[in-house]
Structure 1
Amino acid sequence: MYNFSVRRAGSAEITCDWLYSTEGSPEPCRGNLTDWMGEFFSPRYPINYSNNVQWTWTIHSTGNRTVGLTFADVDLETCCDYIRVYDGPSTLHPLLGEIREYRNKSSFKSSNNDLTVIFYSDASVPSRGFHANWVFLESCGGNLTDSMGEFFSPRYPNNYPDYSQCTWTIYSTGNRTVSLTFTDVDLEKCCDYIRVYDGPSTLHPLLDEIREYRNQSLKSSNNDLTVLFYSDHSITSRGFHANWVFVAGMCLLQQENCFSG
């Protein structure tokens, strides 16, 4: 029998014992993680994990908070061992991704309160394993459909939290485009940013990346704009405040000051 450790913010180290069955097949070990942030890793990390093992961790937040998960190190037998991340409290929920090797910014975010992580190894060639961090995120972002309005970073004008990732999509209709103006921007310039995309998702063309205040407006080419706000793990600032308004398409082409209500 051996155990693995999970370190959590504000609490003592806990262990999860794992035992082979008499037939030598693995029995899964489970851990429930409920602190607002912490770290966990494969058994024995950074020493090689054992063969024929399976572990499941469920990370559970409460209220209006989601879960952010980042893999800081991954070293597995890429053919056969894997980590799987599910968007919910069990493996019956949607699969967000499968990891077999380290990728820069191997990060996941739940859509609700829970993430489930499974680690599996087969009968041969163990490796170093993995190290992961989780943090609870304040829910932010949304779909904006009014003809004009304002939105801002979480907690504005107080400092936004670490590990923020918020997406707003502004939807107009008919022959109207979206005009977006940032009236205040105060971010950690090296690492935090706002990105504005010309369409209803981040898969559309990037119009601009903003890390400091500039007196400018951004305009969509069609009905939609998408705004992504990201902050890393350190040095938060005041954040941003923005206004949007729907603009009649022909007036925009004629560069007239005419807005549709």
Structure 2
Amino acid sequence: MCEVLWSRCSIACGGTWTSFRGTMTSPWYPGAYTSGPTCWYNVKPPSTGQKIQLKYDLMVISYLDTLEVKNSSQVVVSKQSGQRGYSVVPASPSYEASFTRNSPYVHTGFKASWVECGGDWTSDSGSFSSSYYPNKYHKQAHCIYTITPSSGNVIVLTINTLNLADNDVLQVTDGDGKSLANLTVSAAFHQFGPSSSFRAEFKADNGATSTGFHATWQTMPPRIKYDLALHTSGCAVGKKFSEVTTAGLKGRSVSIQKVSARVECLYACLVSPSCSLYSFSGDMCTLLTLDNAGFPLPATVMKQL
């Protein structure tokens, strides 16, 4: 009995937490709980834009008892009575839960835990990852990440690593609501943008999980105008562009390691102080530069070697 194994049992009825990861349980867990006063649980991490997702690892409570969970807007997002298996609660910046104990009989109780899952950010740069990254994310994860810089700058979103289990997906949408990709399984490199904002939605099923993903975002210099969205997959090591029409400029070449040809084209524009526009089609990278009066010079065209 739990009274004997005192050190292994929790008699706490509720609690308050401010961490992005943690666990809460019914009184006396892993021993059985009994009837008693309502237990209140409050999970309120710092306001950093990050959200959390609550998951029930074990749920064996009476039909006369109720575990109710409200999100940060005080909306009821979960209400459990009776025996339940593993399940998750919609992500939220914080949670408030109440556990009412009316049954005169003893029951195993519950164990619930929470972990970072989604968020809303307004900074010009930052990063986000799947829960527990680089360890395996949790089952039935549903995390939504939104990035909308308050500065008004455009940003590029980079998925640096991606390793998902079968049937799981990371959906990426730009600021215009255009779907850019449904990323599945694994890939070495994906890049999107520039855009005024991004939305990434991660969904996992109830099966096997994997190590997940890590993403970063960064503003791009406002002097550069972009005429296409970046969307690259896979790595191209050692690719090089060589100028084939100089348009009165000195010939040069650009070589960047471990990135795709399209990103190399963007980089060629970035490192040229006078570049105002670039385009990429097939294996051709075209740079448009401006003279001191602001008029466009003939395009500089580079061909992939």
The TM-score with structure 1 as length reference comes to 0.51
1:104 maps onto 2:86 in alignment: yes
Cα separation, partners in 2 of 1:226 and 1:129, compared to 1, 3 Å = same
Aligned match of 2:35: 51
Task: Return the letter of the residue paired with 2:184.
Answer: I
1:104 to 1:208, Cα distance in 2 relative to 1, 3 A: farther
Tell me the CA shift for residue 197 of structure 1: 9.1
- Assess, with a 3 A threshold, how the Cα gap between structure 1 residues 196 and 155 changes in structure 2: closer, same or farther: closer
SS in 1 for 2:163: coil
In the other structure, the counterpart of 1:117 is 97
* Residues in 1 aligned to 2:216 and 2:169: alpha-carbon distance in whole angstroms: 11
1:186 pairs with one of 141, 147, 161 = 161
Q: Secondary structure at the match of 1:140?
A: strand
1:96 Cα offset (Å) = 1.0
Q: State the partner residue of 2:22.
A: 38
Residues 92-142 of structure 1 show CA distances to partners (whole Å, capped at 9, x for unaligned) of 9211110123243333421x3x2111111214233100011123x375358
1:132 aligns with 2:107: no
Relative contact order, CA 8 A, sep 6+: which one is greater? Answer: 1
Change in 2 beyond 3 A, CA 1:103/1:30: closer
Structure possessing the higher radius of gyration over alpha carbons: 2
- Which of 72, 88, 95 is 2:57 aligned to? 72
Unaligned runs of at least 5 residues, structure 1: 4-12, 17-28, 144-150, 171-181, 199-206, 217-224, 246-256
- Taking the aligned partners of 2:89 and 2:166, their CA distance within structure 1 comes to 16
Task: Give the C-alpha shift of residue 185 in structure 1.
Answer: 6.2
Task: Give the C-alpha shift of residue 193 in structure 1.
Answer: 4.2
Give me the whole-angstrom Cα distance separating, in 2, the residues matched to 1:227 and 1:75. Answer: 34
Q: What corresponds to 2:214 in structure 1?
A: 239
Please list every run of 5 or more consecutive structure 2 residues that lacks an aligned counterpart in the other structure.
Answer: 4-8, 148-156, 174-180, 191-197, 218-227, 230-280, 282-305
What does residue 95 of structure 1 align with?
76
Q: Structure 1 vs Structure 2: percent identity of aligned residues?
A: 16
C-alpha distance 35-192 of structure 1, shift in aligned 2 (>3 A):
farther
Structure 1 equivalent of residue 202 of structure 2: 229
Q: Any idea what the Cα deviations from partners look like across 1:7-36, whole Å, max 9, x if unmatched? A: xxxxxx9974xxxxxxxxxxxx44111233
**Aligned Cα root-mean-square deviation (Å):** 5.0
The number of residues matched between the two structures is 190
Structure 1 contact 185–211 (Cα < 8 Å) conserved? no
1:155–1:96 distance in 2 versus 1, CA, 3 Å: closer
After superposition, the Cα gap between the structure-2 partners of 1:30 and 1:167, relative to the gap in structure 1 and judged at 3 Å, is closer
- Tell me, what secondary structure is at the counterpart of 1:45? coil
Other structure's SS at 2:29 match: coil
Q: 1:167 to 1:68 in 2, by over 3 A?
A: closer
Q: Confirm or deny: 8 A CA contact 2:164 2:210 kept in the other structure.
A: no
The two structures have a TM-score, normalised by structure 2, of 0.45
